[in-house]
Structure 1
Amino acid sequence: MQLNRFRLSTLSALVSVVLCAQPVWAVEPFKVRDIRIEGLQRVEPGTIFVSLPVQVGDTYSDDKGSAAIRSLFSLGLFKDVRIEVNGDVLVVVVEERPTVAEVEFVGTKEFDKDVLIKSMRDVGLGEGKPFDKAQLDRAEQELKRQYINRSLYAAQVITTVTPIERNRVNLTFTVVEGDPATISEIRIEGNKVYDESTLRGLFDLDTGNWMTWYTKSNRYSRAKLNADIESLRSYYLSRGYLEFKIDSTQVAIAPNKTDISLIINVTEGERFVVSSIRLEGDYLGKNDEFKTLVTIRPGEAYNADEVAKTTKAFTDYFGNFGYAFARVEARPEIDRTNNRVVLNLNANPSRRAYVRRINVAGNTRTRDVVVRREFRQLESSWYDGDKIRLSRDRVDRLGYFGEVSVETHEVPGAPDQVDLTLNVVEKPTGSLTLGAGYSSGDGLGLSFGLKQDNAFGSGNSLGIQVNTSKVNRVLVLNTTDPYFTEDGVSRTIDVYHKTSSPYEDPDYYKLITSGATMRFGVPFNETDTVYFGGGFEHIQIKPGTLLPTSYQDYIDEYGEKSIGFPFTVGWARDSRDSALAPTEGKFQRVNAEWSFAGDARYLRTTYQYQQYIALSKKYTAAFNAEVGWGKSFGGRSYPVFKNFYGGGLGSVRGFEQSSLGPRDISGSSVGGDRKFNVNAEVLAPFPGAGNDRTLRMYGFFDMGMVGGPSEGLAINKDADQVRASLGVGLSWISPVGPLRLAFAKPIRKYDNDRIQTMQFQIGTSF
């Protein structure tokens, strides 16, 4: 009986195999008269019709039906798809996936909500998109990855899916962030020449200090650890330890996921000295010129930094002649017996190339044309390394970007062409000030100030200042178009109206100043610009109580109303490597204002000189000097409103702003027609902030004076007028601009000087 059952089963299986091997149609092919779609809620019917491989009038078959199902599933919009046949009508039945109505995050303190929403969209999950469980899993993993990058290894993510009406769902990511994983121990083993504390001082990562709240330097990051390991390797290689190596790096995380231990094992090797340097390969017949670029000398310890600096200088120099693909390889020949090394610099200039295309990346707000017009390397021109570096520096000096870099890419299939990509990182370029106050004498005053150096991404600057105080009313408008003409001629327009009085009472004096100026800047070369322009100024003094003596003298000589027509001319040269945080280069500026018509006739000139010197990777020396001089014409006195002032940030720190110089009998500072000041600074990393260049401290020495018409600037006359100070300060490139905080101690002062030990400024460096 069992044998018969076995034979029957075997026979049935064989019949099935034979039948399946023959082409059997579930539906006989037919001509489609109509196509109906059922189950749609939000998806447009056209989306399905476009995806179907069969249309009205075509012949339908099982193959086309299978292809249609695969095509509709690939859209990712449907949970289920069926195709039914009703006579000669094709019916497509779909079940749509739920749509994400809202994505909410709960408990996320470490990240801004917009950042998390963007990361969710990057994995395909966002509001208005179809809901997919697989994408939800990827979203959870991405969210955890974001927290791991912030050293929050203990973070837990719980996802809640809440169905709502119209086949939609709300997604809620509830995060328990936990405590960040911090480094409890860093050990370096195998070091003999340098002690561990010296080597650990090279790292950005540490076990925590009083500035950890700002730097977060005790939070573990794989990227930071790799950078620190490279710093350690560079430290040894730059001191002759050519065979230094990292044997292993051990990262141990405690079970609580909040304590991390780092152990780095090293082998120092022997110290090597360079015995000779050889140039090998093709140097375009310019060997002597290339030799001048070598910065490492025989008899000195092998220095990988200097070797890298030399090879880069070589490739840059090749680039000046159009050789964008030049390769320079440093090949050391090691004599381990005598601890000597022969450095062979092998050069292969390869082929000359020209630039096919220049791309700009990262400018989310600034228009392409604002960046491109600073480029001196042109498309379809020979590759020129000097012009490319100059272009990068010019873009950086705009001050619109936090980072600027240039990448070179080979063009596939075109061995003599390259593409350049200028990568920029946008930074805030505007500042906003709002204020309100009330006093019995001043009444209610509202102040508003806006300055945008890159208005609407156009490269133009726009500024407005308003004060509605009853006793100090101000309205100032200014704008600068740096490319008023295609040749780079700039135009600046200033319009202002100011009214000031000590009190609202009409019995007190008032000073009303109105005017407008227009200036043009003409670039003569890459670093020099000449400025010229003209303007109109109307000054009215309404006499009254508390009128300063200097104002009365002005009325006696010029009258209560006076006008002037100042003509300005100037010159500026800027070779700094950055306008925001320079470390190298010079800046010079000369400006003259000459009023040759109207009531007030005078000449007012200023000269400023700045120089920045990189003492090392961390330290920078800065020097600033400024001289001002004024003279009147037509037998009249120099106008009091054109006087120079000194004291405070930008002049001699430690003294109250604009308090230096002559005073009238009321004790008010009236300034003088001559001045000078000298400032010297050394900038260094802020303690505990590592190598963060946006937050630095500095020590300074200031010296300067302001002289009146009869005092001049002669040393024998003005030695007693000079003030000086010493101090320290804090420099921070904040989101609203460079911030400077100074603590100064005057070392040369007089009894009536107004001392101000702490001073604060948001603006320029000096």
Structure 2
Amino acid sequence: MKLLAHHLRLRTVASFVSLALAAQMAWAVDPFTVGDIRVEGLQRVEAGTVFASIPVRVGETYNDEKGTAAIRSLFALGLFTDVRLEVNGNVLVVIVQERPTVASVEFAGNKEFSKEILQGALRDAGLAAGRPYDKAIADRAEQELKRQYINRSLYGAEVVTTVTPTERNQVNLTFNITEGRTARIKDIDIVGNKAFSTGTLKDLFDLDTGGWMSWYSKSDQYSRAKLNADLETLRSYYLARGYLDFSIDSTQVAMSPDKESISITVNVTEGERFVVSGVSLGGNYLEKEDEFKSLITIKPGEAYNADQIAQTVKSFTDHFGNYGFAFAAVEPRTEVDRANNRVAIVLQADPSRRAYVRRINIQGNAKTRDEVVRREFRQFESSWYDAEKIKLSRDRVDRLGYFTELSITSAEVPGAPDQVDLNVDVKEKPTGSISIGAGYSSAEKVSLTFGLTQDNLFGSGNRLDLQLNTGKFNRTAVVSATDPYFTANGVSRTVDLFYKSQKPYQDQGGNYTLVTMGGGLKFGVPVTELDTIYVGINAERTQIKPGTNIPAAYLAYAERFGYASTSFPFTLGWSRDSRDSALAPNAGRYQRLLGELGVLGDARYIKANYQYQQYIPLSKRYTLAFNGEVGWGKGLGGRPFPVFKNFYSGGLGSVRGYEQSTLGPRDVTGAFIGGTRKVTLNTEFITPFPGVGNDRTLRLFGFVDIGGLYGEGEKLSASGLRASTGIGFSWISPLGPLRFAFAVPLRKQPGDRIQKLQFQIGTSF
């Protein structure tokens, strides 16, 4: 490497000497008419590149000035290490020596990053196979590789480049990497705090000194971006508690000599705590002061709270936007009384001018059709600017799930001060997936799954779903196709075909099964922006296949109404989901009501199920969650409720600590046959898993479950309720949401099947 670098430096010096000598030669040549131009020394560079770069053509007069300009322009291409001009009669000869070309780029010793990631980083730095080799670019590439490792807290990483010349003036580059050990945070100290303990303030940080789960959270790996985020969290914590003059004076990050441990010291000045003495409005509020006052969350008599001020300012600007004032500005001004530690806040408003939306521009959607995005918009072109409708439009587009990034910005229209354009920038993500895998649960044992899903079929917004599932007790095959805009008003249509084979959970080794096959047609009618009502009809054929140990209740039903029954149940449902996340919710509410009415066919019944979930954030780390579910079913026309439509309870998803689906009535054979009425109540206290900081993909929870299942004609009573308590954890794993629970029954009855340890992939709550 050193010999080659020395050789290249000599060649560079020679190039400048050649430039000087060529210039002298050009000065010594009398002007003449060029009869021909010949290029020598080219190996990969096209001759046309040289001809296009020199300022002289055949038939033109060559002179000293053009010779000097030709040499300079050829060197400026960066393709040559040496350029000379010679004159042979009336022929101008251009002699060049090309720079070496990178033939290949290899890596040795890399474990933290894949070869593809490192090659991408070097490509951004200007180094890749097929490009001219330049020592300066190679040095820059080394620094880029080191930067990549520093971002992973590998501060001791060393990179040595080996350059191997090959035939045809090419070189092979090998980057030999010694990654070293990851630098860990040894200590975090906060200096100058008096109002709050250091431990309380350090709990706000995502960075920490590590624990037994640091291998998962990587919270003890230093990152400047993470530290800046933690410092902003610290600042917000003080400003939300009245410390108006709080400041972070300095931050020192010290690294040990071996580059394997880091100490962080944050110096702060708290200042005095201020109380809000009053809030007033200033400026122009469109004569709607009462409306704006109702949006104020700042409370006089309480500590100054920057979060409340920011929330109020945002509410004000949004409310101005609802009236079309897209350029409204609201400035919170403080009048500080330091003698009494009080502060008065004046919200100064300037609505500027009213505007309407001229055009909505959608960018970044290479696959998804514009229509799919536009139909979700509630802000229309040529209408007054409405901030509330724009926010609603953004939320609706985001809920499509087709994009990883989405932003809506407004831009003034030149020459039209009362107009704005909305620019919708999206970044698409793959919306199709094929999944093949195996799962294991304490109830189902081994199950195989196959899934084929396309959420945005051909960019149309339609959904196609194929799911196969096999298990010891349940086997399912479902094909579903959904058109979310079957009508222009947003009525969706779903067509289903299904086959389900299931056996109620019991341990007597019976080989009887319930087989249901059929299809369905369902329409979703949006009632409001948050509420949707579903109506549909299914065609189902259910067959009781007798076998050993068939429950007496199934046998009695089959003897009375036949082993096979056909029905055409009507379905009616309603849902509303305001959770902040479907996988790891921290706030919001979810409600679902499903009804089923069978009046056509052999089975006559009515069935309803209502579920309610509420997530209450107690802090950034802790969440209180409630889940309630009620089910009810009844036979119609003097017929009993079909046993194959019964509810089941027990285990994950209902009352943990009991074997799956073993609560409620039994028949004379001892089989668990389910019931016609079900009630379940769950309470969970959720916290990040110890050692992972604020990571929400792995969480610990404590719970209390209460539930009961009652048969037809059985009296509802508290004595039939079961209860349990325990702890568990949830993990959003690559295979899906996984929940593990250890439960201890609090209220049980003789004969109950206890199962303290339970887990399952894909279960909810």
| Aligned positions of 1:154-165 closer than 5 A | 154-165=156-167
Distance 1:237 1:566 in 2: 59
1:448 is aligned to 2:482: no
Please, which moves more after superposition, 665-674 or 388-397? 388-397
Counterpart code for 2:591: Q
CA distance in 2, matches of 1:190, 1:552: 78
What is the rounded CA distance, in whole Å, between the counterparts of 2:711 and 2:607 in structure 1?
14
| Contact 1:393–1:578 (8 Å) recurs in 2 | no
1:705 Cα deviation (Å)?
1.8
Q: State the partner residue of 1:100.
A: 102
Query: Quick check: 1:431–1:451 contact (8 Å CA) kept in 2?
Result: yes
Which of 165, 178, 181 matches 2:180?
178
Matching residue's letter, 1:647: G
Whole-angstrom CA distance in 2 between matches of 1:659 and 1:557: 26
Match of 1:255 among 251, 254, 257: 257
Partner of 1:332: 334
RMSD, matched Cα: 3.7
**1:547-566 paired onto structure 2 within 5 Å:** 547-566=550-569
Distance (Å, rounded) in 2 between the aligned partners of 1:723 and 1:549: 25
CA contact (8 A) 1:496 1:516 kept: yes
| Whole-angstrom CA distance in 1 between matches of 2:368 and 2:700 | 31
Mapped contact 2:27–2:64 kept (Cα < 8 A): no
Task: Name 1:213's counterpart in structure 2.
Answer: 215
Are 2:729 and 1:730 equivalent residues in the alignment? yes
Q: Does 1:695 align with 2:694?
A: no
Give the whole-Å Cα distance in 2 for the aligned partners of 1:239 and 1:500. Answer: 57
8 Å CA contact retained: 1:405, 1:424? no
Deviation at 1:406, TM superposition (A): 5.0
Aligned partners of 2:324 and 2:356 also within 8 Å:
yes
Show CA shifts across 1:429-454 (max 9, x none): 868342399xxxx9xx9833225473
Deviations 1:40-76 (A, max 9, x none): 5455566666666666777766666666655555555
1:435 and 1:21 mapped to 2: Cα distance? 78
Q: What is the total number of aligned residue pairs between the two structures?
A: 732
Aligned-residue offset at 1:259: 2.4
Which aligned pairs between 1:365-764 and structure 2 lie closer than 5 A?
Answer: 373-379=375-381, 381-398=383-400, 415=417, 416-417=419-420, 419-421=422-424, 432-435=435-438, 447-450=448-451, 452=453, 454=455, 458=459, 459-466=461-468, 474-498=476-500, 509=512, 511-711=514-714, 717-763=716-762
Structure 2 counterpart of 1:752, one-letter code: G
Moved more, 284-293 or 631-640: 631-640
The 3-state SS of whatever aligns with 1:717 is coil
Deviation of 1:143 after TM superposition, in Å, equals 1.0
2:235 is matched with which residue? Answer: 233
1:527 Cα shift? Answer: 1.0
CA deviation string 1:248-284 (max 9, x = no partner): 2222222222222222222222222221222111222
- CA shift, 1:179, in A, is 1.6
In 1, the alpha carbon distance for the partners of 2:94 and 2:553 equals 93
Change (3 A) 1:317 1:332: same
Query: Following TM superposition, by how much is the alpha carbon of 1:161 offset from its aligned partner in structure 2, in angstroms?
Result: 2.1
Distance 1:76 1:454 in 2: 49
User: Kindly tell me: are residues 134 and 21 of structure 1, through their superposed partners in 2, closer, same or farther at Cα, counting changes over 3 Å?
Assistant: closer
SS in 1 for 2:754: coil
Q: 1:686-717 deviations in whole A, cap 9, x for unaligned?
A: 33322223333333322222221222xxxx63
Task: Choose 108-117 or 731-740, whichever is displaced more.
Answer: 731-740
In the aligned structure 1, how far is the partner of 2:718 from the partner of 2:95? Answer: 97
Amino acid of the structure 2 residue aligned with 1:552: L
| Equivalent position amino acid for 1:737 in 2 | G
Letter in 1 for 2:633: G
Q: Secondary structure at the match of 1:598?
A: coil
Write the distance in 2 (CA, Å) between the matches of 1:213 and 1:199.
23
| 3-state SS of paired residue (1:250) | strand
Which residue identity is paired with 2:728?
G
Instruction: Answer whether contact 2:26 2:68 (CA < 8 A) is retained.
Output: no
| CA apart distance, 1:671 | 1.4
Q: Secondary structure at the match of 1:307?
A: helix
* Partner AA of 2:595 in structure 1: A
- What is the CA deviation profile of residues 646-695 of structure 1, one whole-angstrom value per residue up to 9, with x for unaligned ones? 12222222222222222233333221222121222333333332222333
1:134 to 136, 139, 164: 136
Farther-moved stretch of structure 1 (286-295 vs 359-368): 359-368
Q: Which one is further off, 635-644 or 389-398?
A: 389-398
**Which amino acid counterpart does residue 129 of structure 1 have in structure 2?**
R
Structure 1 equivalent of residue 19 of structure 2: none
Structure 1 range deviating more: 135-144 or 412-421: 412-421
**TM-score, normalised with respect to structure 2:** 0.85
> Paired residue for 2:14?
none
SS in 2 for 1:288: helix
* Equivalent residues of 1:399, 1:579 under 8 A apart: no
- State the match for 1:286 in structure 2: 288
Q: How does the TM-score come out when normalised to structure 1?
A: 0.85
Structure 2 vs 1, CA of residues 185 and 586 (structure 1 numbering), >3 Å: closer, same or farther?
closer
CA distance in 1, matches of 2:565, 2:188: 72
Partner AA of 2:341 in structure 1: N
User: After superposition, what is the alpha-carbon deviation per residue over 1:529-563, rounded to whole angstroms, capped at 9, x for unaligned?
Assistant: 12122222223334343333233223212223322
**1:225 alignment partner AA:** L
Q: Distance in 1 between matches of 2:197 and 2:483?
A: 56
* 1:78, distance to aligned residue in structure 2 (A): 4.6
CA contact (8 A) 1:647 1:655 kept: yes
Is 720-729 or 468-477 further displaced after alignment? 468-477
Q: What's the offset of the Cα at 1:140?
A: 0.8
Cα offset, 1:164, TM superposition: 3.5
The separation in 1 between residues aligned to 2:565 and 2:192, in whole angstroms, is 80
Q: Percent identity?
A: 61
* Secondary structure in structure 2 of the residue aligned to 1:597: coil
**Shift in Å, 1:157:** 0.7
5+ residue gaps, structure 2, are 1-22, 505-509
Q: In structure 2, what is the Cα distance between the partners aligned to 1:341 and 1:656?
A: 61
Distance in structure 1 (CA, Å) of the matches to 2:414 and 2:686? 46
Give the CA deviation at 1:512. Answer: 3.8
C-alpha displacement of 1:422: 5.1
Range with bigger deviation, 205-214 or 679-688: 679-688
Distance across 2 between alignment mates of 1:21 and 1:472: 91
Distance in 1 between residues matched to 2:236 and 2:475, nearest whole Å: 59
Deviation per residue, 1:376-420 (Å, 9 max, x gap): 334554332212322333344445667766555666776542544
Per the alignment, do residues 208 and 629 of structure 1 end up closer, same or farther by CA in structure 2, a change over 3 Å counting?
Answer: same
State which drifts further: 536-545 or 119-128. 536-545
Letter in 2 for 1:740: R
Residue range with higher mean Cα deviation, 56-65 or 168-177: 56-65
Give the distance between the partners of 1:468 and 1:741, measured in 2 at CA. 21
Cα deviations across residues 492-531 of structure 1 (Å, max 9, x unaligned)?
Answer: 23223345789xxxx9655443212222212222112121
Aligned to 1:274: 276
- Report the residue type matching 1:180 in the other structure: T
Give me the whole-angstrom Cα distance separating, in 2, the residues matched to 1:473 and 1:685.
35
Cα displacement string for residues 194-214 of structure 1 (whole angstroms, at most 9, x for unaligned residues): 232222222222222222222
Q: Distance in 2 between matches of 1:221 and 1:318?
A: 40
SS in 1 for 2:279: strand
Q: In structure 2, do the counterparts of structure 1 residues 509 and 249 end up closer, same or farther at CA, with 3 Å as the change threshold?
A: closer
Q: CA deviation at 1:142?
A: 0.9
| Alignment match of 2:299 (pick from 297, 300, 320) | 297
Q: What is the SS of the residue equivalent to 1:105? A: strand
Shift of 1:39: 4.7
Structure 1 residue identity aligned to 2:724: S
Residue 143 of structure 1 aligns with which residue? 145
373-382 vs 234-243, which moves further: 373-382
State the partner residue of 1:17.
none
SS of residue in 2 equivalent to 1:252: strand
